[in-house]
Amino acid sequence: MELSLSSTSPALLKLNHHFLSKNSLPIKIPSLHFANDWKLPSFYSLTRRPSFLRKFASPASSSIAVGPSNDRLPADIKVTETQEPNSRIRVSVEVPPAVCEDCYRRVMNEFTKQAKVPGFRPGKNVPESILLSYVGKQNVQRATVESILKRTLPHAMSSVTGEVLRDSVQIATKFTDMEKTYISLNSLRYDVVVDVAPEVIWVPENGYNNLKIVVEIDSEIDAQRASEQELRQRHKSLGVMRIITDRGLQIGDVAVLDVSATKIDKDESNVQNIPAADSKGFHFDTEHGDRVIPGFLDSIIGIQRGETKSFPLVFPESWKQENLRGVHAQFTVECKELFYRDLPELDDSLADKLLPGCTTLQQVKESLLQKFLEMEQTAREQAADNAILDQLCKMVDIDIPQSLFEEQGRQLYGAKLLEIQANMKLNEQQLASLSSPKAVNEFLDNQKENITRVIKQNLAVGDIFKRENLQFSTEDLVKEVENSIAEFKQQKQEYDEERVKEQVQEILEGAKVLEWLREHSKIQYISR
């Protein structure tokens, strides 16, 4: 089973309830971190992160926490920054002997308080040699290195240029190498790599101003046409299907067909079945001829019950299934049954049946038209938003951090798993397979382009919100948070209120930016 992303709607405008709840996902999406020979001490926690990157951070997990740097050191440490690709910075830290010695003394004092050395009361001074022998010299050295890291890492991080992304801090130096350096030189050197908030570079500068957008609209979105089709469907539903015995198929009839198709080369030497075109007992409404391959309806007009027809057709280049575009096919159709609709006269007497509450046919038509006008407007705005976001994505140059890419990819992958689980009810074995590191890595590789597009769109929107000093009301924020929490409670799901508030805020920011862009862009709508 392969997971893929849809590119039809802007991800930044969706409140993902699954990721806001505390225990919604029955599986754990693996984190992807650089391998090391040593697990980081539990005292680290990263607190600095840019506000417009909230959506990419996962409050439930933290690989390193960098606390405040208010612990004064007896000597200065040397910190050197080196810029690396993907908005990554390598921080090289040199800790002088004075700091190492101070950390060693602290470690020894702590062992003195906690160790129960035979012959000495707890907390009383124990000769250093005896304490080292009791605790173990290697254990003291390891504890000292950890103490040095705990005290110096916050100072090193406080000097980093840019805003550090949460869960991105990685100590690149092996712990064994740090031990060797400390033992031999009584000093310490280590490297830390961190991802920082990427810069959004517009090409051209402020290119989002006065955008010219061409929006393709599906013909089905036309409100007048859609309302007429809906009225026709409702009218048809009130009719009675009667069997045809004395003639062939006509427009307006319904046929039950067995359909098969084969793919043929031009020289007809290589014949292959087309499974996607096979259908048994296919109920074909001839009024929906535009929903099948062009030429299909014309080829079966006049077919009678029990008759079989065979004819060649070519799948158009606009066909939804890419692997069938341009394919020459030979169709075989057997007619199993033919029906016509015996419909009541369309007048005011049917009004309440067509649309409960209506008393006239004109009232039905007006109500349906109004419904579809609202749907058309929503569809046009959605299509415009998608076109705007696609345009923004092409206008920004962003050096995306790897940690940001992986976090966004894991969120999208988890959302897809939840969608599949809701539709298919996967068993434990299937869930385990789909949530394996291999499956996640394959998703990140296969969906790299889509994941990158989502990140660029979100960052571009966040940048415009700041540049244009856009705002939304506190009342809107409170209202939307309350609505979201009420939905969680209704679904009996646990949730993190702070995360709900953060994501609602991002949704409101995104909506405000898209509203601003629609007002400041020239948008042309064309039909597909």
pLDDT tens for the chain, 528 residues long, are 555 554 444 434 444 443 333 333 333 333 333 334 333 333 332 322 333 343 333 322 233 445 556 688 999 999 999 999 999 999 999 999 999 999 999 999 888 888 888 888 776 788 888 888 888 999 999 999 999 999 999 999 888 877 888 778 899 999 999 999 999 999 999 999 999 999 999 999 888 998 999 988 876 668 898 899 999 999 999 999 999 999 999 999 999 999 999 988 766 667 789 998 899 999 999 999 988 999 999 999 999 999 999 999 999 998 988 889 999 999 999 999 999 999 999 999 999 999 999 999 999 999 999 999 999 888 888 999 999 999 999 999 999 999 999 989 998 998 888 888 777 777 888 888 888 899 999 999 999 999 999 999 999 999 999 999 999 999 999 999 999 899 888 877 788 888 889 889 989 999 999 999 999 999 998 877
Residue type, 112: T
**Tokens coding 269:** 């030497």
Q: Go through the domains of the chain in sequence order and give each one's CATH number.
A: 78-197 (3.30.70.1050), 240-342 (3.10.50.40), 361-527 (1.10.3120)
**Tokens coding 397:** 């140059």
Rounded CA-CA distance 155/70 in Å is 8
Rounded CA-CA distance 407/166 in Å is 10
DSSP 63: S
Contact 140, 111 (CB under 8 A): yes
Max CA distance (Å), the chain: 112
Contact 466, 208 (CB under 8 A): no
Rounded CA-CA distance 267/270 in Å is 8
- Per the listing, tokens 């198709």 go with 261
Rounded CA-CA distance 347/478 in Å is 49
DSSP 253: -
Residue type, 419: E
Burial class (CB in 10 A: 0-12, 13-18, 19+), 224: exposed
Rounded CA-CA distance 330/272 in Å is 10
Rounded CA-CA distance 463/449 in Å is 21
**Tokens coding 487:** 């939905």
